[in-house]
Amino acid sequence: MEQPSPGFALRCANVSKTFAVQREQRVWRILLGMDRDGGGPVVEALRDISLTVPRGKIVGVLGRNGAGKSTLLRLLGQVYTPTTGRIEINGQVAGLFELGGMGNPNLTGREYATRYLQFMGVAGDSVADILEDIADFSELGDAFDQRIRTYSSGMASRLYFAVATAYQHEIYLIDELLSVGDEHFQAKCWRRMRERLLGGASGVLVTHDWTAIVKLCEQACVIDEGRFSFVGSSDSAVVRYLDLRVPPAEAARFPDTIPTEFVLRSGEDSVIRLPVEVLDDVAVDLAISVEMLRIGVGWEIVILSEYYPVADTAGNYTVEFRIPALPLAPGKYSLNLFLAQRPLPGMRPKAGLDCRSWTYGNGLTLRVEGKPFPAAVTLPFTVRPIPAEAV
């Protein structure tokens, strides 16, 4: 069935999954389909899950243990069939589940890798190169040709990770993946995931580690007791997941009329005007930061200002930020604003009054337009050749 390539890599609609309790005793009923309704106790692992993974994106699923994360991943990997709902997949799937081997610990590392490549249909001349790369990346050395049962758990997971990411798959299903090995190896894992994503892979990452979500995903969902309790940007999802408290915004605040998106042009003198409402007679300072999400690395601060005084008495104010020759490359940034009470001498810390920030899930968007260039920033420099005799 050839069909035009759609814009999504993976999509599921209204998917639910129930498991029969004590299913070993009810195998025949399950097989014959007599287990539908009233057949006995069932556990509803997932309910009404809808999710779309666009091509080239990783969508995060955040959840605590037992929330249904792994079940969801197995459904997407077609290991389970959904009880109701539809799953569509457009691409070759590589599942990185609990990073178990293929059940046979008597295989050597090399045999395991070879078997995996066979399963994925890698053949011909490239196999030797890929095996070489796996041996190299997993840092197993001579152990690569010894049996997996002789490995420590760290060695085994290094092997499994190296094998699963040895070449570019189209869709990755990742389960708590990046907690492999020591810091040195983790850094390598992240670098590799980043390469794969920049290579156009799509996928789903389920984890309870919100930092991984922030690093890899733009979109994320929070799953709670088998249901999505939140679907949206990954920063908002993290806030929902961590249940962070947003400052009360009582003494001073950004009015609701504040635009959610600012559009500036790269390289031009730029102005951002921000309305601020001060309700009490307190001294209020404002700081601003511009951050960008680099996939596989995380949020990086591009511009971070100090706190500047805004007001000492109640009233409506407008604060103007001027950036001459805006040095940002075209793209999407998070614009974060922090209002704080100015500390009196001897008083600390700075009490937050209101904020707009991705860390609280309400960051503003800064869209920079202009001619794209490969660096993150550009500086207003000029180049001029000087004849030798003039120096």
Partner 1 sequence: MFGFTRYDFRLLINLFKMNLRDRYLGSSLGSFWAVSNPLFMLALYTYIFGFVFKVRLPGSETTLAYVIWLITGYGPWIATTEALMGAASSVVGAAGLVKNLAFKTELLPIAGALVGAVNLAVSLFFLFVLFVWAGTPVTAHVVLLPLVMLLQFFWIIALGMWLSAIAVFVRDVLQILPTLLTAIMFMTPIFYPFDSMPAIIQRVSLANPFYQIADAYRSILIAHEFPSAVGLGFVGVLSWVIFHFGLAAFRRAKGSFDSAI
Footprint of partner 1 (CB under 8 A): 1-2, 17, 19-20, 23-24, 27, 30-33, 35, 74, 76-81, 89, 91-95, 97-98, 100-104, 115, 118-121, 173
Smallest separation (angstroms) from partner 1 to the CB of 238: 26
Q: Is the dihedral of CA 170, 175, 178, 180 positive or negative?
A: negative
Using alpha carbons only, give the angle 207, 209, 211 rounded to the nearest 5 degrees.
125
CA–CA gap between residue 27 and residue 261 (Å, rounded): 56
Smallest separation (angstroms) from partner 1 to the CB of 353: 48
Smallest separation (angstroms) from partner 1 to the CB of 213: 20
Smallest separation (angstroms) from partner 1 to the CB of 91: 7
In degrees and rounded to multiples of 5, residue 36 shows phi and psi of -60, -75
Length of the chain: 391
Structure tokens at 220: 């994320």
Smallest separation (angstroms) from partner 1 to the CB of 224: 22
Q: What residues have CB less than 8 Å from 18, skipping those under 6 apart?
A: 42, 43, 44, 45, 83
Using alpha carbons only, give the angle 79, 218, 236 rounded to the nearest 5 degrees.
105
Q: Is the dihedral of CA 236, 240, 242, 246 positive or negative?
A: positive
Smallest separation (angstroms) from partner 1 to the CB of 125: 17
CA–CA gap between residue 232 and residue 361 (Å, rounded): 10
Residue 5 vs 211, nearer CB to partner 1: 5
Residue 23 vs 192, nearer CB to partner 1: 23
Smallest separation (angstroms) from partner 1 to the CB of 123: 8
Residue 168 vs 313, nearer CB to partner 1: 168
CB atoms within 10 A of CB 24: 6
CA–CA gap between residue 326 and residue 333 (Å, rounded): 13
Residue 19 vs 299, nearer CB to partner 1: 19
Residue 120 vs 282, nearer CB to partner 1: 120
Residue 33 vs 345, nearer CB to partner 1: 33
Residue 102 vs 249, nearer CB to partner 1: 102
CA–CA gap between residue 149 and residue 166 (Å, rounded): 22
